[in-house]
Amino acid sequence: MTSWFTYLGMDYGWAWFVATIIDILVIALPLMLAVAMIIYADRKIWAAMALRRGPNVVGPLGLLQSFADGLKVFLQETIIPSAANKGLFLLAPIITFTVALIVWAVVPFQAGVVLANINVGLLYVLAASSLGVYGIIIAGWASNSKYPFYSALRAAAQMVSYEVSIGFVLISVVLWANSFNLTAIVEAQKGFAWGWVNGNFINPLLFPMSVVFFISSLAETQRAPFDLTEAESELVAGYQTEYSSMSFALYWLGEYANVILMCALNAILFWGGYLPPLNIGWMYAVPGIIWLFIKILAFFFLFSWVKATVPRYRYDQLMRLGWKIFLPLSLFWVFLVSGYLMLTRVGIGS
């Protein structure tokens, strides 16, 4: 794209600038559409598991339900509590929403199709996800209300705890792929199991980590069974209690954008990303982005499934799982993977 704009007579800097902005729109706008449809899918799956119909009135099969909801919140009045800290109160949902979007910059959709192919891609993902907690803490504090504040404290503790084990899981993947770059991590998953399967999940050393990562990503996005921050029987609606209209919708969108992102990360880190599941010639005829989409949707189905079936954890159980089970396990696995690599690949890169 940059070369096309330089061809039009712009100098390189401006051509890059314009091309990048267009690229960002090309990622962000379909993502918003995907979020709207995935909210619909979530409600449908959830309803089906509870033997209900789910949204089926607005549009054919209820497909336009999310857009109707969007229009509704858009027309509502934004209520700002008089005791709230106004600036921060309005800033918080914007932070959540922005952070959910910026990570997509490093997600590879196909070999070489990525907005920013940086060599610290995975660290960037960690950095951006550690920013996500601020949207929630600030909301809880700025609302100046008890339940949002409790919820914000819970959310912050939960996200910080599970980021620790996510970090170690990522390290074992990075060790295996020998790179922090997401494209390189995907490429390193080519041809496991005597060249047949693409994906770290088939690797017995990394499969347990893929399970840990899946559960941690449920906790990181505050989905059931770890949705203690929005435990409606205890905390009304958690940190979103005081929010209405568009500021509430931004939380809603950001939350689901985060869920899709976590599904994408699961797919990229352990299930081969844009590579076809089997390492067979004709499967490469299907574009990589379609494989990535199928994997993201499969993971989203898992997320919904868990939400529909698993009861909510107690807070002490949540912390116990994060600190006493996942942390030692993933730490041990880093040790195991690096030990195996020392035995088999020693000398690489030195």
Q: Binding residues for another protein, per CB under 8 A? A: 13, 16-17, 88, 118-120, 123-124, 126-127, 130-131, 133-134, 137-138, 141, 149, 153, 156, 160, 163, 180, 316-317, 320, 349-350
- Closest contact distance (angstroms) between CB of 314 and another protein is 8
Q: Residue 142 contacts by C-beta under 8 Å, 6 or more apart in sequence?
A: 84, 85, 88, 89, 91, 92
> Is the Cβ of residue 53 or residue 320 nearer to another protein in the bound state?
320
CA distance 263 to 96: 18
Taking alpha carbons only, the member of 68, 42, 65, 69 closest to residue 55 is 65
3-class SS string, 162-189: HHHHHHHHHHHHHHHHCCCCHHHHHHCC
CA angle centred on 67, ends 81 and 230, rounded to 5°: 45
- Closest contact distance (angstroms) between CB of 148 and another protein is 12
Start-to-end Cα distance in the chain: 37
Angle between helices 207-220 and 327-345 (to 10 degrees): 140
- Closest contact distance (angstroms) between CB of 265 and another protein is 16
- Closest contact distance (angstroms) between CB of 208 and another protein is 20
> Is the Cβ of residue 11 or residue 77 nearer to another protein in the bound state?
11
> Is the Cβ of residue 94 or residue 302 nearer to another protein in the bound state?
94
CA distance 255 to 240: 12
Taking alpha carbons only, the member of 84, 39, 132 closest to residue 243 is 84
- Closest contact distance (angstroms) between CB of 159 and another protein is 9
> Is the Cβ of residue 133 or residue 259 nearer to another protein in the bound state?
133
CA distance 346 to 270: 23
> Is the Cβ of residue 34 or residue 137 nearer to another protein in the bound state?
137
> Is the Cβ of residue 50 or residue 325 nearer to another protein in the bound state?
325
Q: Count the neighbouring beta carbons within 10 Å of the beta carbon of residue 2.
A: 17
- The tokens for 238 are 């958690």
> Is the Cβ of residue 80 or residue 118 nearer to another protein in the bound state?
118
- The tokens for 211 are 């399970």
- Closest contact distance (angstroms) between CB of 113 and another protein is 21
CA distance 298 to 301: 5
- Closest contact distance (angstroms) between CB of 266 and another protein is 20
- Closest contact distance (angstroms) between CB of 268 and another protein is 18
> Is the Cβ of residue 153 or residue 308 nearer to another protein in the bound state?
153
